Structure 1
Amino acid sequence: MFDIAKLQVLVVDDLKTVRDITRALLLDHGIGRVETAEDGAPALAFLDRLAAARENGAEDAACDLILLDLNMPGMDGIEVLRHLADRRFAGHVALFSAESARVLRTAEALARAHSLNLLGILPKPLTRDAVQALLARLRDGRAPQAQPALAPPDEMELLDGIRRGQIEIMVQPKVFMRSGRPMGAEALARWRHPERGLLGAGQFVPLAENGAAAEPLFDATLGQALRVAASWREAGLELQMAVNLSTANLSRLDLPQRITAATAEAGLAPGAILLEVTESRLIHDVAAALEVLTRLRLKGFQLAIDDFGTGYSSLEQLQRIPFEEMKIDRQFTGHAAHDPAARAIVSSSIGLARKLGMVTVAEGIETRADWDCAAGLGCDIAQGFFIAPPLSPAALPGWLAGWQGPPAA
């Protein structure tokens, strides 16, 4: 269970004033323990002391989150990222810097290349809204710290988990930006591991790409998504369910028949299901992907190109595949409010989609500024923590009852 009072946060910044203000703000939000360090060297020393304490049996000796400045006169934040990767740091990292947007995006890409659990970028000075958004992200994706010695799961362990029914879904709502009306939700796979706790998709879905677990994982996710969507219909909720397709799925020439049969068995029409494809995955086995996606569209399923702008052949995919929805990646929508380059990319993507007759979705809407920027640029649909974090399917009706549109600015 997520307990803010039990969190331990480390603030790394060379300015004492910034450290003190940030510490006070975090404590004011109920975080139990907040430590500070003036640069990377004492920060790493603190983490090493925690590791030694864990080896001696101290179960709560773990750092859940590091707020990391980049430009420090001692060991800078970029070097710290490498050392965190070397230590296989299991907590989360948020970059905390006043550097330019381009530098921050590069640092963000570096953290992800190091396979660190990056929660995003925080403004300087830190605001209450930014802390609340950060805690919401942490609440959904917090990695368990109780068993740091466990090795990462492998494909065989995932296959066993699928067979044992450990895969479940959460749903994240999508709303129309103009009216605020909910229009659907995306099914997000989770692995309820008996020892590791609840694992997010990033911790196990890559294990299944193009491997033996790919098909059973998709089948398990789709089956649950269809059952949830059917229960929505029975309750009178006209919501569209989005499900992700993987690389391996796109090479299954029988996939259109299988999805059609499963959808009909659930009592749903194909139009109730939207299938999302990450554009970078389409470069593998192009002929099979084109056949599968076109046949799915002919059968009435809607298609979305996910993470638009992050692949190498975006425009080519739009030309040859009958997508109806464009999901603009969070690395652009999450920076557009403050970064002219990101805003230009979002604006041009929306304009392109409109000319192609496509609906646009802004992913990663986490603050009021993100919402206002995307709405001002003409985006159709929003998804992100500003609207709602991923929810259990059972919690969605309660969220719907309480949703009254975005808070007033």
Structure 2
Amino acid sequence: MPAPRDLVASILVVDDSEVQRRHIADVCREFGFGRVDEAASGESALEMLATRPPPQVVVVDLEMPGMDGVELIEAMQRCGLLLPLVVVSSHEGSLIHTVEALARDMGMPVLAALRKPFDAEVLAEALSHADSVAPPPRAEPVVLPPAEHLARALARGEVAVHYQPKVCLRTGLLRGVEALARWRHAEAGEVPAGRFVELAEANGLIVALSFSVIDTALGHLAHWCSRGLRLSLALNLSPRLLTTTDLVGELLARVRDHGLEPSQLVLELTEGSVVAAYDGGIGVLTRLRLKGFGLSIDDYGTGYASMSQLARIPFSELKVDRQFVHGASKRHSQRMLLESALETARRFDLVSVAEGVERLADWRLLQSLGCDVVQGYFIARPMAPECLQPWLKLHQSRLAALRPPTMPGPSDT
């Protein structure tokens, strides 16, 4: 059993079965929880949550008379009690994982979804992550700065670009980076990228924002190439850009001005953008591929793309959304969706990229399924450009551990 952690303070076990409840409570005490509360029903659990300091973790049995586990989770969410959960049930795995997904959609951190009976070791392993997934403090609503502030920031070069590494699953070697825009406002602080992109699209600034990011990112890529680090660069492409006059010529000119080749760029479109591309954009995308640019369908599995759409647009890469990746090693239904997406990539001869790789288990599963490239916090968080080469030096020391156990050290570069 993992060693107790001082950060683990208290837990609430909710189960109508006294035998099951006490068994779980005993495991929690062995694990080192300072306070273990027990509730025999959802109603009594809510009363405890209303009158006592909130626990660090709540273990919820789904099958209870009166208020069942799903109702309890929904009531907690309505009360703003976004506490880490361990969901347990004697039902089949698909039902448990449906509740897990529902809880996550409501903003509840889920440590594990366990089918009864389960070993104490399994529960202890789930609880060992309690300190790392504690819910964030309740955030104030994001107040977007006025559009003119964004226009001024673009004119002054105040929109920065960070980069998240993309690595080869077979070797662990760095293959490319994804460029991600960052805007820190003087009063509002860090503005979420999705929000200021929406602001730009709604106020006629998306072209200026896009080319600002493109020019900055191309400059960094050219610098890395001059240091002998040849990488691919992934850039998010707004569907609004597809109507830009001579987009293909503009991109070609900027790439060549930096001494780069179109083949070093991968332009990413979300599934929703794929639908928008049907309104005159397919010709632009086809010309971009003809000139050598890569095209990636981003967040695959979350939107509207179908095999017929993949066949009509000349993509070179398919990115599997993070919600199908992280935790798929433990959830059968999620793994099936992941396998289906990777098989789709193979059938269309596309490079497969998995987002949201957060743990070694995610990495190993994707290796076994034949995915090509990954990105995620297990590899690296997005970073400022000056941090990439220092990160790369540290990453070299991980390569042996990242390769498949039976694979000899390659001379691959």
Offset at residue 193 of structure 1 (A): 1.9
Residue 304 of structure 2 corresponds to residue 315 of structure 1: no
Match of 2:399 among 392, 405, 409: 405
CA distance in 1, matches of 2:250, 2:98: 44
Spell out, residue by residue over 1:52-75, the C-alpha distance to the aligned partner (whole angstroms, 9 max, x if none).
xxxxxxxxxxx9xx8676768697
User: Would you say 1:208 and 2:200 are equivalent positions?
Assistant: yes
* C-alpha displacement of 1:156: 4.2
> In structure 2, what is the equivalent of residue 162 of structure 1?
154
Whole-angstrom distance in 2 between the partners of 1:158 and 1:405: 41
Pick from 163, 171, 181: which aligns with 1:179? 171
Q: Mind listing any 5+ residue stretches in structure 2 that lack a counterpart?
A: 1-6, 15-20, 40-44, 90-95, 114-122, 406-413
Please list the CA deviations of residues 319-347 of structure 1 after superposition, one character each: whole Å capped at 9, or x if unmatched. Answer: 11111111111111113211112111211
Whichever residue aligns with residue 339 of structure 1, its letter is R
1:186-201 paired onto structure 2 within 5 Å: 186-201=178-193
1:288 aligns with 2:284: no
Partner of 1:123: 112
Cα deviations by residue, 1:131-178 (Å, 9 ceiling, x for unpaired): 49957x99xxx8997xx4873445444334333433112111111111
1:209-228 equivalence runs, <5 A: 209=201, 211-228=203-220
In the alignment, which of 63, 69, 72 is matched to residue 76 of structure 1? 72
Identity of aligned residues (%): 33
In the alignment, structure 1 residue 102 sits paired with structure 2 residue 94: no
Deviations 1:189-246 (CA, angstroms, capped at 9, x unpaired): 1112222333342343333345423222212221221111111101110111111111
| Aligned with residue 374 of structure 1, among 366, 370, 374 | 366
Structure 1 residues 104 and 289, CA gap change in structure 2 (3 angstroms): farther
Partner of 1:4: none
Aligned position for 1:356: 348
2:239 corresponds in structure 1 to: 247
Pairwise mapping of residues 136-155 of structure 1 onto structure 2 (< 5 A)?
148=140, 151-155=143-147
Matched, 1:232 2:224: yes
CA contact (8 A) 1:350 1:379 kept: yes
Q: Deviations over 1:373-400 (max 9, x none)?
A: 1111111111111111111111110111
The alignment partner of 2:379 has SS state of coil
Contact kept in structure 2, 1:71 and 1:77, CA below 8 Å:
no
- Alignment TM-score, normalising by the size of structure 2: 0.73
For the residues of structure 1 that align with 2:298 and 2:253, how far apart are their CA atoms? 25
Distance 1:269 1:42, change over 3 A: farther
Whose Rg is larger?
2
Aligned residues: 361
Structure 2 partner of 1:51 = none
What is the CA–CA distance in structure 1 between the aligned matches of 2:376 and 2:305, rounded to whole Å? Answer: 26
For residues 250 and 93 of structure 1, the distance between their equivalents in structure 2, rounded to whole angstroms, comes to 43
Structure-2 change in CA distance of 1:223 and 1:308 (3 Å) = same
Per-residue deviation, 1:182: 0.9
User: Cα distance, 1:369 vs. partner?
Assistant: 1.0
Task: State the SS of the aligned residue for 1:357.
Answer: coil
**AA of the residue aligned to 2:323:** Q
Amino acid at match of 1:212: G
Find the counterpart in structure 2 of residue 304 from structure 1.
296
> How big is each residue's C-alpha offset from its partner over 1:25-57, in whole Å with a ceiling of 9 and x where there is no partner?
9x9xxxxxx9x998567768899xxxxxxxxxx
Q: Secondary structure at the match of 1:297?
A: helix
Q: Distance in 2 between matches of 1:173 and 1:375?
A: 17
CA distance in 1, matches of 2:52, 2:309: 48
Amino acid of the structure 2 residue aligned with 1:123: A
Q: Is the 8 A contact 1:185 1:240 kept in 2?
A: yes
Q: Which amino acid aligns with 1:337?
A: S
Opposite residue 405 of structure 1, the aligned amino acid is: L
- Report the Cα offset of residue 186 of structure 1: 0.7
Q: Is the CA contact (8 Å cut-off) linking 1:13 and 1:69 kept in structure 2?
A: yes
Tell me how far 1:106 sits from its aligned partner: 2.8
Cα distance in structure 1, aligned partners of 2:30 and 2:391: 31
Could you state the TM-score of these two structures normalised by the residue count of structure 1? 0.74
Query: Structure 1 CA distance, aligned partners of 2:336 and 2:209?
Result: 37
